A = this chain, B = another copy of it.
Amino acid sequence: MNRVPSLDDIRSAHLRILPYINRTPVLTSGQLNRIYGCSLFFKCENFQKTGSFKFRGAVNAVLQLNEEQKKGGVVTHSSGNHAAALSLAARMNGIGAYIVMPETSPDVKKKAVAGYGAGITFCKPGQAQREAACRELMNEKKATLIHPYDNFNVICGQGTASLELLEEVKDLDVVVAPVGGGGLLGGTSCCVKGTDGRIRVLGAEPVNANDAWKSFKTGKLTPSVNPLTIADGLLTSLSELTFNIIRNHSDDIITVSEKSIIESMKLIWERMKIIAEPSSATVLAAVGENPGQFRGKRIGLIISGGNVDLTRLPF
């Protein structure tokens, strides 16, 4: 299904996943508002199950499998938040999950996925190797691929975070979401524009992994080549589907430096007392690097996740 989610699609997804997800809080900080000269509303998906927004999309996809598909289980390639999210979504619905991970993945990630009861298949590093291992599992187990973002149901699920944000905070001027593969920004764009076309929707992206920015500006899908950023959730590139959604429903992509990602992350930790991962900090970095654009505005920021290795902090 390559169609663009409507607001109704996202509302239906929300009703579907409501018994499974956490309703995450929207937090504010007087101190940060003073520092940035605007009103910031943080939608805290770091408090979502498995520690990131990815659980919304994963559980929405799992819930729409038919009985035959459920028997075969689900498969994906991801070493990060989507792997954990899909594993838990599958377990909560009593179906099998197979995760393809590069054998070079850090132990902490292997353990997290194993902890949710998923089966892990290790492969050599590289996109082709991952895809081959996935195809093998799809054939062997009759498992259904749940792609981390190139999937209509996943995008609808990710959009439900802004649905809750807009319900809770009125009169927003802007919503900013991180952009990696584009599932979150895609869902956010469809939800926000479907609700109120006057609200601007922006993607925040590391300048070191700026495929969405390039694609948006040139109008031509331009994947990243060997991106390198501390925002480890944003290394992936847009797909045709997410690019198509974002070019038509987002207003702009803002790129941010590594330095400002790290500084923004530290500021969130220090002032708000919450753990946000580097990918999440891009949204505050986007505000910080462009004060003129945001001054005096009411800004929704999607804090995408809080999965950080506490023994390897960048500050």
Contact = CB atoms under 8 A, between A and B. Distances in A.
Interface of A: 25, 27, 46-47, 51, 266, 269-270, 272-276, 306, 310-311, 313, 315
Contacts of A306: 273
Nearest to A51: B273
Contacts of A315: 310-311
Contact of A313 (B266, B274, B313): B313
A240 to B, nearest CB: 34
A9 B231 CA distance: 50
A310 B310 contact: no
- Most chain B CB within 10 A, of A27, A46, A276, A306, is at A306
Contacts of A313: 310, 313
Contacts of A266: 310
Nearest 3 pairs of A and B residues by beta carbon: A273-B306, A273-B275, A46-B273
A99 to B, nearest CB: 19
Nearest to A270: B310
Nearest to A30: B49
A256 to B, nearest CB: 20
- Most chain B CB within 10 A, of A25, A266, A273, A310, is at A273
A308 to B, nearest CB: 9
Contact of A47 (B47, B270, B273): B273
Nearest to A52: B273
A186 to B, nearest CB: 25
Contacts of A275: 269, 273-275
